[in-house]
Structure 1
Amino acid sequence: MTIATTAIPGFVAGTWDIDPTHSEVGFSVRHMGGISKVKGRFTAFSGTVTTTEDPAAAGVEVSVELDSIHTGNADRDGHLKTADFFEVEKYPTMTYKATGVRADGDKYVLDGELTLKDVTKTVPLTFEFNGFGGDAYGGTRIGAEGKAQINRKDFNVNFSGVQNNVVLVGDKVEITIDVEAVLRTG
């Protein structure tokens, strides 16, 4: 199935800057043997979205500052910054770069490359397009929400803590994004 830009109401081709005050990059991972999930987010990130008349040539580039992790627990955040997890002093950023969009039922998929701790793997990001629209300042905005799933060990995030015979952190990590971006002008 191909994507027809004429089927997207208000479609605008261009380069869009992600608005971090109206966007979120988050994650969740099973905790304590899977009985609950720890959720977190990154508070510092930037990126661009490129829309084209040919959606197969559209793109996304995002850079996330790993030091900006926030899970609601300062001790856990500090641990996540160490070599057990992100090793932020050596690997300060995580990046995602995608070129092209394909339809998958009523959703869309970006086939992009995620780089974390100098490991790059193809990670499909399934997303729902929220549309194009004007803002209160005379600009134009675009919105989308997406999800991807990775195995953290594929990216050398290998912490394997066990306490009282209970695995502390699961391997499967769900990444969630909610993006609002502003069309560049001039």
Structure 2
Amino acid sequence: MTTTQIPGYVVGTWDIDLSHSDISFSVRHMMVSKVRGRFANFSGEIVTGETFESSSVTAKIDATSIDTNSEQRDGHIKSADFFEVETHPEWTFVSTGIEADGADYKLHGDLTIKGVTKPVSLNLELGGFGPDAWGGTRCGFTATTTINRNDFGVDIAMPLDGGGMVVSEKIAITLEIQGVLRAA
């Protein structure tokens, strides 16, 4: 697939539409099930280049906006045991490249959590480009990755008596992103 084959492809700068986007995660809990959560506040900019592979993404996540459907758990996750949001309230992602991966893409970039920056690669599915109901233009993407929380200094050890951990080291992240083309 080349960018000339992407229907409706538009070169430009896009803002992430918070009301039509989602950043969520899941983590194995007590070795038996997964707990899911999301971030209510984030922002970002997508710049589509002359070719899709020359495009870029920057994003900021408000770590204080975490919501796992449990105020007590959210409070613990915000504490120094996990994300230490009083000191590190914002996470960032800055892309370093996009490459074709069959019918989809790999989005490479630097993710910063708790002041620790590590390279990550996301599986990127292009949803498409097209007009919206208000005279604007939209784009859509789904991206997924799995990170190890220890790599970012979220290294709380809570072992279970019978083996394993209360909270897994692996965190699955899913982004459903809709962008709005900025007016010229």
Determine if the TM-score, normalized by the shorter chain, exceeds 0.5: yes
Q: C-alpha deviations, 1:116-154, integer Å up to 9, x for none?
A: 111111100111100001111000000000101110000
Matched residue, 2:23: 25
Matched residue, 2:117: 120
Matched residue, 1:96: 93
**CA–CA distance in structure 2, aligned partners of residues 122 and 69 of structure 1:** 22
Conserved 8 A contact 2:96-2:110: no
Structure 1 residue 75 displacement after superposition: 0.4
Structure 1 residue 165 displacement after superposition: 3.8
Matched residue, 2:73: 76
Task: Identify the match of residue 177 of structure 1 among 169, 175, 178.
Answer: 175
Matched residue, 1:58: 55
**CA–CA distance in structure 2, aligned partners of residues 99 and 142 of structure 1:** 20
Conserved 8 A contact 1:45-1:63: yes
Aligned letter for 2:3?
A: T
Could you tell me which runs of 5 or more consecutive residues in structure 2 were left unpaired when the two chains were aligned. Answer: none
Matched residue, 2:144: 147
Conserved 8 A contact 2:14-2:47: yes
Structure 1 residue 162 displacement after superposition: 3.0
**CA–CA distance in structure 1, aligned partners of residues 63 and 95 of structure 2:** 20
Matched residue, 1:9: 7
Q: TM-score, normalised by structure 1?
A: 0.95
Structure 1 residue 169 displacement after superposition: 0.2
Aligned length: 183
**CA–CA distance in structure 2, aligned partners of residues 100 and 77 of structure 1:** 33
**CA–CA distance in structure 1, aligned partners of residues 138 and 115 of structure 2:** 33
Q: Any idea what SS the aligned residue of 1:148 has?
A: strand
**CA–CA distance in structure 1, aligned partners of residues 23 and 68 of structure 2:** 12
Matched residue, 2:127: 130
**CA–CA distance in structure 2, aligned partners of residues 126 and 51 of structure 1:** 17
Q: Any idea what SS the aligned residue of 1:79 has?
A: helix
Q: TM-score, normalised by structure 2?
A: 0.96
